[in-house]
Amino acid sequence: LQDEAVKILNKAVDLAAINDLTDLSFELSVDLARYCFEVGEYQLSESCFRSAMLFKSDLKNPNDASVHTEIARLHLTMKRYRQAEIEIKRAIFVSRKHNDMHKLIKALIVKGEIEAKIGSTTYLQSNFIKALSLSKEYGFKQLEHEILSYLVDLDPIPDHKKEFAIQKDILEQELKG
């Protein structure tokens, strides 16, 4: 079924490109890349993301921060830390340019993940703390919960872990009503 789904999405991308539907080609390429990533087809996912970025060049004023974030996560999964850092910097730049706080927070989370993988706890904390502050400021409770979960798991200081765990528990109670 996975192969069939990939074929169908790939055919849709081709049809959209043939019919000069750039917006649709971009979106379908991104969808195909996401799907391939989810099923562990990382090389195919990377290829689809490249195709999407080619279509992006024809779009008027695209806010592609989430695509750069997903490409960074793909590189992170494939242990290509330098490429992941480059893509996440692009995601942060684009999300700031478009003043898209939700995408900025998601990018900062991935930046924190990258820093955790390369072993830099100071950057880890600063990126997650920035993301946490923004998620609170803009009321993104689900993102706040996700960040607190990372901080509970990754912060090396036991007192900090405990404080983040308390904040996470309080937030979970709020989310439950």
How confident is the prediction along the chain (177 residues), in pLDDT tens digits per residue? 566 666 666 666 666 666 666 677 788 888 889 988 999 999 989 988 888 887 776 666 666 888 999 999 999 999 999 999 999 999 999 999 999 999 999 999 999 999 888 887 665 578 999 999 999 999 999 999 999 999 999 888 899 899 999 999 999 999 998
Q: Longest C-alpha distance within the chain, in Å?
A: 58
Q: How far apart, in whole angstroms, are the C-alpha atoms of residue 135 and residue 79?
A: 28
Cβ-proximal residues to 134 (8 Å cutoff; 6+ apart), any chain? 101, 104, 105, 108, 140
Q: How far apart, in whole angstroms, are the C-alpha atoms of residue 162 and residue 168?
A: 10
Tell me the pTM: 0.83
